[in-house]
Amino acid sequence: MWGMQRSRYADCNGSDASEETEVVVNIGGVKQVLFGDVLNRFPDTRLAELTKCSVKSSEEISSLCDDYDPDTGEFYFDRDPEAFKCIIELYYYGEIHIKRGICPICFMKEMEFWRIGADFLDDCCKCQLKEVEDELAEIAEKVKTILVDREGDPSAGRWQRFQMCLWRLMEKPESSLPAHIIAIVSFIFILVSSVVMCVGTIPDLQVEDSEGNLVEHPTLEVIETVCIGWFTVEYTLRLISAPNKVKFVLAFMNIVDFMAIMPFFVVLVLTSFGAGVMELANVQQAVQALRIMRIARIFKLARHSSGLQTLTSALKSSFKELGLLLMYMGVGVFLFSALGYTMEQNHPETLFTSIPQSFWWAVITMTTVGYGDVYPKTTLGRCNAAISFLCGVIAIALPIHPIINNFVLFYNKQQVLETAAKHEIELMALRSEDAQLEPSPRKHACCAGVWDRGVAPGRGDASVPLLKDPRAGAGLQTPSMDRSFESTAEVSEYSMS
């Protein structure tokens, strides 16, 4: 019995008959001898039913197990023996732990087969199960998005199909070769526009206007105009094809796209009013501010870079660590700037004229920058600077590791999800082909079509199908904490803005 002694369950309640009952089970080739008083602790389970087989018919016994030998009284179950080791713990300890290396979703299928509720699962294992369910839901969402991108919605009208095609062309580079080419061209325009914006500020490449003021070279202005034209057409087409216009407009990256093209047209409108308007001081300052806003287009690179997107998501998940970092730095800046001002104020050539002015010195010292424009001149002030330097290094180093760890975990998770989604698509295609080649209703457990059934409840579950055939009207399936561990959700919009 895998090293479990009889004394562990000697105090179990049960009848005299059940105490003498021995149940011999064969789990995937591993023989196990169980005792009735132990199994009857949970009378609603499948194993407890085996203790009553002496008064059951052969049909009832066959419904409880895969095979039965009446000569030896041995019950055979075609199940995973490693998972059964966890199942049997319920009868000895009152709770179940999922051992490392066992898929939590498949283990819940095992618990369902043995008629054991999810409430007997330990809290730590429930958290692990919830994480796996979330990952499967994300994989299923990616699979659904890929399927919609490939096949589209057959019930959509002509205009909707045109919108879906245009959306995939502008927003989904992986959907087709033309979409991939458009993404590359857009990336090149972003780089060219950013380089032109920087090069245009070099005095040697600028020209003088009629009033003797330096302005950008006409050639650079032409290149800038072409880039803005491409950005405008791209933004307009994406807005037209967006499934949810409000969500599209309010998305952060789309706001960046709008801010990248808006200054050009505002300056163009102001210029059309004539030189009199442009000579106003307020208008000139507004035009200069709008030109500076062109730097926002560099953020457009995040649309085509999965690394930048992963970094943004990692920072979002690290708000707590970033808040701790800012709190440490804030307390340190206030403390050491006040100490520095107190220690340096009596020096005749002091550079610490006030506590707020000392904030700058504390910031550059704690961050180990040290410009040298403000520095202490007394011995106590230098000691204070040394302590602030060490505290700054510690304050910055402590939260950095969790932030880096979040980035690595999030990046690896994204890579795993993408690989799993592609693998699931390939498996669905292979199973669909097998279903067409073998139209017979009787199918092998490992070759059954993904479209017409879930995981066999009476066998070891090697895989969990995430989707049913959308052509049959079924929706997305993801595991849940209920008895069947399957839930259905309707197919949502064909993309996420």
Task: Report whether pLDDT(270) > 80.
Answer: no
As a whole number, mean pLDDT of residues 380-403 equals 89
Q: Which long-range contacts (CB under 8 A, 24 or more apart) does 14-23 make?
A: 14/38, 14/40, 14/41, 15/40, 18/51, 21/51, 23/47, 23/50, 23/51, 23/75
DSSP 55: G
Which range (44-53, 109-118, 431-440) has the least confidence?
A: 431-440
What pLDDT was estimated at residue 287?
Answer: 63
Q: Which long-range contacts (CB under 8 A, 24 or more apart) does 184-192 make?
A: 185/230, 186/230, 186/234, 186/300, 186/303, 186/304, 187/301, 187/304, 189/227, 189/230, 189/231, 190/297, 190/298, 190/300, 190/301, 190/304, 192/223, 192/227
As a whole number, mean pLDDT of residues 295-314 equals 71
Task: Report whether pLDDT(269) > 70.
Answer: yes
What pLDDT was estimated at residue 174?
Answer: 74
CB-based burial of residue 474 (10 Å sphere; 0-12 exposed, 13-18 middle, 19+ buried)?
Answer: middle
Q: What is the pLDDT of residues 399-430, one digit of tens each?
A: 888 888 888 888 887 777 777 777 777 777 78
Tally Cβ neighbours within 10 Å of residue 227: 23
What pLDDT was estimated at residue 284?
Answer: 59
Whole-angstrom distance, CA of residue 19 vs CA of residue 9 = 11
Q: Sorting pLDDT into bands at 50, 70 and 90, what band is 275?
A: low
Per-residue burial over 397-420, b = 16 or more CB atoms within 10 Å of its CB, e = otherwise: eebeebbeebbeebbeeeeebeeb
As a whole number, mean pLDDT of residues 199-222 equals 81
Task: Report whether pLDDT(335) > 50.
Answer: yes
Contact 24, 73 (CB under 8 A): yes
The separation between CA 20 and the C-alpha centre of its own chain, rounded to angstroms, equals 54
Task: Report whether pLDDT(272) > 90.
Answer: no
Which of 188, 154, 147 lies closest to 168, judged by CA?
A: 147
Average pLDDT value for the chain: 76
Task: Report whether pLDDT(57) > 90.
Answer: no
Q: What is the pLDDT of residues 471-489, one digit of tens each?
A: 444 444 433 334 333 333 3
Q: Could you tell me how many residues make up the chain?
A: 497
Q: Sorting pLDDT into bands at 50, 70 and 90, what band is 291?
A: low
Task: Report whether pLDDT(16) > 60.
Answer: no
What pLDDT was estimated at residue 236?
Answer: 92
CB-based burial of residue 143 (10 Å sphere; 0-12 exposed, 13-18 middle, 19+ buried)?
Answer: buried
Which of 120, 115, 122, 117 lies closest to 97, judged by CA?
A: 122
As a whole number, mean pLDDT of residues 204-208 equals 82
Which of 227, 157, 125, 140 lies closest to 185, judged by CA?
A: 227
pTM, entire model: 0.55
Highest average pLDDT, of 43-47, 159-163, 258-262, 310-314, comes from 43-47
What pLDDT was estimated at residue 289?
Answer: 66
Which of 197, 195, 220, 226 lies closest to 207, judged by CA?
A: 220
Q: Sorting pLDDT into bands at 50, 70 and 90, what band is 340?
A: very high
What pLDDT was estimated at residue 126?
Answer: 82
What pLDDT was estimated at residue 276?
Answer: 55
As a whole number, mean pLDDT of residues 112-135 equals 84
The two structure tokens encoding residue 171: 């927003």
362: Cβ–Cβ under 8 A, 6 or more apart, which residues?
Answer: 332, 333, 334, 336, 337, 340, 388
pLDDT over 70 percentage in the chain = 75
Which of 94, 97, 101, 92 lies closest to 1, judged by CA?
A: 92
Task: Report whether pLDDT(79) > 50.
Answer: yes
As a whole number, mean pLDDT of residues 211-237 equals 86
Rg (CA), the chain: 34
Task: Report whether pLDDT(72) > 50.
Answer: yes
What pLDDT was estimated at residue 264?
Answer: 81
Task: Report whether pLDDT(251) > 50.
Answer: yes
Task: Report whether pLDDT(103) > 60.
Answer: yes
Q: 37 in helix, strand or coil?
A: helix
Residue pointed to by tokens 């709190």: 327
Q: Sorting pLDDT into bands at 50, 70 and 90, what band is 445?
A: very low
